[in-house]
Every structure is written in structure tokens, then in C-alpha cells.
Structure 1
Amino acid sequence: MAPHYKLIYFNSRGRAEHIRFIFAYAGIDYTDHRIPTEKWPELKKSVPFGMLPVLEVDGKPVAQSNAVARYLARQYNLTGKDEWEALQCDALVDTLGDLKQALYYYRSEKDPIQKEEKKVTLLKDTIPFYLHRFEKTVAQNNGFSVGNSITWTDFVFAVSLENFELIFGKDSLEPYPHLRALKEKVFALPNIKAWIQKRPHTEF
């Protein structure tokens, strides 16, 4: 009997969207439980480590978005063809996480002068450093992030690149045609496309 999944997160894409992509791609039914932000202080006490997203598997809660995504990816054959490719998936996701952390520091900066300084550093140094390397990886893998077929890492990239375009503009991926093509390929997958068309509209 298939497990019952309940994904608990805010009404946003955020740290949960790549998990939703896995469910959508694999055609798995789950409860997409979105909590209002005003209820979070009360709920925070009851979830593991006081963080979201949380996935309940038959009522058993598990935290950490990428741990959840890795678990589901293993269940639904999205970790590559062998352990080496699974390692490449993990390495790319964790490295992308480093870039996302830098973007978070920029977006959360309150001081306008320091925020502008962070933006200059991001656009001149940090972003090109990472995206040029990711671009080369996707080019070498014939349009995939790992191996020669869809993995959960492609979903992580697609979600992140969507947000990247929202932050820096639609033209921001022009220097990275393979990354942009990867995002478009993921978004065109029938089950993913259907999810995108019906998901709640949120800023991020």
C-alpha cells in the first residue's frame, strides 16, 4: 500500500517547490498543506527542529527539504543510474545551496547601501563563478545536470532558475543558454507543466 504524504509549508514555492515537482513528475498524490504565516508561531513548537518544510509519511514527520527530496528521489528513481550519479546529484544541489545562501543574504539586507554593494559583488563575481560552472556541467551532460536523464537535481535547478529570473530579470540567463534550456525542458515536462498551471500564484 502506498504511503500517505502530507507536505507542510507556507503558501509559497520557497524550499518546498522542488519536492512538489518530484510529486508532480512521479504522479504521486499528496496533501499540499499550506499554513498561513500568522499561524506559524503556534505550529513551530510542534514540528521537528522548528523549521519548514516538513513531510509527514503516514503521519511521521521529517524535516529538511533536501533530505526529504533525496528520500523521494530514491523512491521514484530520480537519483541517476548508479551511486556515482547519486553523489553528483547531491554535490550539485549542495553547491547550488551555497549560491542560494549568498542570494538570501542579498535579499534580506536592510541597509540600502550595503544591499547595493552586495548586488554588485553578486553580479560581478559570485553569480558568474557558480553559473559558468553549472552551465559547463549541463553542456557536458547533453542538457541534464547529471547523467543523461532527468534527476531531482534538474528540478532543484529549474526552481532556482525561475527565482533567479524573477530577481534579476528575464534576460539574466542569456549568458547561460544551457541552464535556461534545462529550466525550460523541466517546465515543459507534461506533469510538471500541469502542476505549474494549477499551483497557487505566489511571488516566490
Structure 2
Amino acid sequence: MASAFFYQFAMSFSMTEYKLQYFNIMGRAEPARLIFAYAGVQYVDERIEKQAWPEIKKATPHGKLPVLYVDGKQLAQSRVIERYLGKVFGIAGENDWEIAKMDELVACVEDFLIEINPWFKEQDNAKKVEIFKQLCESTIIPFITEFEGLLAGSGTEFFVSDKISYADLAIFHIFWFMNSKILPGSLCKFPKLYEFVEKISAIDSIKSWINSRPKTEV
């Protein structure tokens, strides 16, 4: 009976058609891609080139990407997409408290990304270096330190419970990106976060996605 149940459970995903539409970068869509990878669910990873964006923009819900298509229906806003996929694939918490804590943590990640956005957008290299120096002291190091403490205080290997969640994957992405792209090796002084990133990186489906995904700078 159990095997029949899980077969039907898996088949329900395979019967749904998913498409994730975003630019050819990791950016705002990468946590959703990681969720698909972890769940082992097939989807169309549609990557939009910048020259095609003005025309495609007209067909998006709010003139922004990413957009998730579920059997042709559109869902926008990256964090909403992540929460939706987490719920559908069973990694969005088991009670109202866990759900709320996941929302809280993802909101903290969102606040962090907004704070460092000026660095991403700056085109002048000299100004970019100066902005980065300021952000390291005011934002980046405090953010890493805070999440090191949160993970240490969780009492588990993950942030909310003893099971991986969509929030863990969103948090994993930002710290993987930080350790690999922004401040290479920065997590060496933060053992809990370092172990967290290494553990998720080693999950077969996540490792496979990281090794096979298009190589982009951001």
C-alpha cells in the first residue's frame, strides 16, 4: 500500500507541467530552481535573453521576472513562488509556527539583498569597490554573524526543524553565492554555516544541479 501511495504522489508531480521563466542568471530564480532540483521534479527552465525581454515583459503579471507557469497559469514574485513550490513539494513546514519562522528567515534574506543591491547595480569599478567595503562592515559580516548564531541556536542541522525546507534552500543559495562569488572562503570562520552549505551542496540532486546548471556570474 505504501509503495502505491508514493507512486501516485510522484505521478501527481509528473502530470503537472511547470515552467520557470527568468533571465539567464541565477539571481531571483535560483532558489526555485534549487527547490525543483531537490524535489526531483521536471520543469522547463526558460531563460530569457535581454533583447527579448521588452516583448516578453508585456505578457508577465507585473512586468517582472521570475514567473512560474503551472499548467499554463502564471504565478509571480520570487518569494511567493518559492513558498508555493515548497508547499506543493512538502518542504514548507509541518505547522503554523514552522511556516511563520520560514517566512521570517526568507524575509531577512530579502532585506539583505535589498541592502546590497546598490553594489550589484553599480557599473563604475572604483565606486563598486568603495560600496563593497562599506557593505562588508555595515551589512555583510553582521548578516553572516547573525545567521551563524541562528543556526547554532536552532538545535538542528537546519534553520527551522530537523528537516530541510524551502527556506533552507533560499538561505543556502545566498551563502553559497557569498562563499563562492562575493567573498570567496568567507564562511571558513563560521563553522555552522560552512557545514550547512557543505551538507546541502553534497545532496545528490543539488550537487547534480550545481554541476550542470549554466555557468553565470550572478
TM-score of Structure 1 vs Structure 2, range by shorter chain: over 0.9
Q: CA deviation at 1:173?
A: 1.6
1:33 aligns with one of 22, 46, 56: 46
Distance of 1:119 and 1:6 partners within structure 2: 35
Mark the CA change 1:197 to 1:168 in structure 2 (over 3 Å): closer, same or farther: closer
Judge conservation of contact 1:157–1:183 (CA < 8 Å) in 2: no
Give identity over the alignment, percent.
38
SS in 2 for 1:50: coil
What is the aligned length? 204
2:167 aligns with one of 146, 153, 161: 153
Distance of 1:112 and 1:31 partners within structure 2: 36
Q: CA deviation at 1:146?
A: 1.3
2:196 aligns with one of 136, 160, 182: 182
| The 10-residue stretch of structure 1 (180-189 or 104-113) with the greater mean CA deviation from structure 2 | 104-113
Matched, 1:96 2:104: no
Distance of 2:129 and 2:119 partners within structure 1: 9
CA RMSD of aligned residues (A): 1.6
> Which residue does the alignment assign to 2:133?
120
Distance of 2:211 and 2:125 partners within structure 1: 36
2:64 aligns with one of 51, 62, 70: 51
2:79 aligns with one of 46, 49, 66: 66
Aligned residue type for 2:65: L
Aligned residue type for 1:139: A
1:6-17 superposed matches below 5 A: 6-17=19-30
Mark the CA change 1:112 to 1:17 in structure 2 (over 3 Å): closer, same or farther: closer
> Which residue does the alignment assign to 1:109?
122
Structure 2: 5+ residue stretches without partners: 1-11
Q: CA deviation at 1:111?
A: 5.0
Q: Calculate the TM-score normalised by the size of structure 2.
A: 0.87
Structure 1: 5+ residue stretches without partners: none
Judge conservation of contact 1:154–1:182 (CA < 8 Å) in 2: no
Matched, 1:42 2:55: yes
1:143 aligns with one of 153, 157, 175: 157
Matched, 1:133 2:146: yes
SS in 1 for 2:65: coil
Distance of 1:159 and 1:165 partners within structure 2: 10
Matched, 1:203 2:217: yes
SS in 1 for 2:189: coil
Mark the CA change 1:114 to 1:11 in structure 2 (over 3 Å): closer, same or farther: closer
Q: Calculate the TM-score normalised by the size of structure 1.
A: 0.93
Judge conservation of contact 1:73–1:79 (CA < 8 Å) in 2: yes
